Structures are given as structure tokens and as C-alpha cells.
Amino acid sequence: GAVVSQHPSRVICKSGTSVKIECRSLDFQATTMFWYRQFPKQSLMLMATSNEGSKATYEQGVEKDKFLINHASLTLSTLTVTSAHPEDSSFYICSATPGGTGELFFGEGSRLTVL
Amino acid sequence: SQKIEQNSEALNIQEGKTATLTCNYTNYSPAYLQWYRQDPGRGPVFLLLIRENEKEKRKERLKVTFDTTLKQSLFHITASQPADSATYLCALENDNFNKFYFGSGTKLNVKP
């Protein structure tokens, strides 16, 4: 299957700082990538759809100025959590579907802890 | 908006038995429905996709059914093994076919 890689897998930061998470499709091109957030024992909540070469589409209730998404190439999307606070601590996961197959391939996830 | 419901209670079964997990949705019927497996601290892994015109799909010990009348999908694991213990998620596309939404998942525990 297709491979999606995420980095970093774990990050701890101080409150008020910004954190960037990278998502790469290693063996296919992805015009669209999806960013999810997952709190402990809860399901994946779609945050935004990242579109290559254009602005991301955010889900209702997700602050686009806080969660900056950039999809500068067909293999890389980045999520930047700006001015992070403890309530932003969560598991962030990206995914992509190659060639419109409908199957989502996920990255390994990034565990963010804001102190 | 679409609501996807999975049993939030963990399912505990004995090794060798068949596990059956349920996914119900409330609104429009999707063109297809998917099932994923998620292990703790990991991203979900795609298992099966079933289209609206398919009643049943099989892959090794896995079987998925899709009933658009009941708005329900059942996910079966036959001859279950302790290694099958994980959380299983169902996912549907939205009505514009450009986003994927997930159910809350059901945790399966297979005891030896």
C-alpha cells in the first residue's frame, strides 16, 4: 500500500510556542491531504482538508489562524499549531488517498504535548 | 449532517470465536463505506472498502456487509486471534465525496 510519513512523532513544547508537523506521501502524489486530531479514547475528528496549491478547507469550529496548513507540493503538507496551549495537546494524524481510490493511508501520527 | 455510530463499549471475545462489530449511520447513504484498524498510539490502517451496490465483501478472515436500507454495516472477524485486539473504525465520505468522517470506534479484546 501507499506510504504516508509524519514527523515528528512526538513533540513537547512550552505554552505560547508554535509547532510544525510535516506529512509526506512517499510513493504517490497527493493533491489533497487530510488532517485529523484525536483525543484519548475518542475518534478521529477531521480538522481540515489540505489542497495543493490552494487554501485549506477547515471544518466548522477549527480556527484557521491557529492551525496553519500549507500544501506547497504534491508530496508535502504541513500543519503548524501557533501559540500552542495545553488544550491543544492531542494526537495529530494526517492522511491521503492516492489516485482517488477511496482508501485513506495515514501517517504514524504526532503526539503533541503543550506544557 | 451525517452521524456515524459505533458501539463505544469494548467487545470481549474468546480466541477462535467470530467478532461482529456494528456501524450505523443516520443520514444519506454513502457511495462506499470503509473499515480501519487502529492500534494504540498509531495511525489507522485501511482494511476493507465496500460499495453501496455490494452486499458483502471478504478479505481473508474479514467480512463486511453493507445494508443501505438499514443504514448499517457489519464487520466480522472469523477465527479471531489475540493479535486482532485493536480498535476498529468505520468511515464514510461526506455527501460531496471530498472528505472522510469516522465513527468513534469499537475496541475489540480477543482473549486467549
High-pLDDT (> 90) share of chain B, %: 73
Residue in chain B nearest A37 by alpha carbon: B43
Dig out the grid coordinates for B91 from the structure: 468511515
Task: Identify the residue among B4, B23, B37, B46 best suited for mutation to test binding to A, counting A beta carbons within 10 A and taking the highest.
Answer: B46
- Report the candidate in A110, A77, A107 with the shortest Cα–Cα distance to residue A11: A110
Q: Write the pLDDT tens digit of every residue in A49-99.
A: 998 888 999 999 999 999 999 998 999 999 999 999 999 999 999 999 887
pLDDT given for residue A94 in this prediction: 97
Residues of A in contact with B44 (CB under 8 A): 44, 93, 95, 104, 106
Top pLDDT among A41 and A101 is at: A41
Q: How many CB pairs under 8 A join A and B?
A: 52
Average pLDDT of the segment spanning B76-105 = 91
Beta strands in A1-115 (DSSP E): 4-7, 10-13, 19-25, 32-38, 44-51, 57-58, 67-73, 76-81, 90-96, 105-106, 110-114
Instruction: Please check whether residue B28 touches A, CB under 8 A.
Output: no
Test mutation, A43, A54, A94, chain B, max B CBs within 10 A: A43
Residue B31: pLDDT above 90? no
Q: Is the pLDDT of residue B99 over 90?
A: no
Q: Mind listing the pLDDT tens digit for each residue in B62-76?
A: 999 999 899 999 999
Are A104 and B89 within 8 A, CB to CB?
A: no
Query: What is the DSSP track for A86-107?
Result: GGG-EEEEEEE-GGG-S--EE-
Q: A42 to chain B: nearest residue by CA?
A: B104
Least confident of A57-61, B51-55, B106-110: B51-55
CA distances from A55 to A18, A31, B21, B94 (A): 20, 12, 38, 20
pLDDT computed for residue A100 by the predictor: 64
Answer yes or no: are the C-beta atoms of A84 and A17 closer than 8 Å. yes
> What is the average per-residue pLDDT within B48-58?
92
Indicate the average pLDDT of chain A: 93
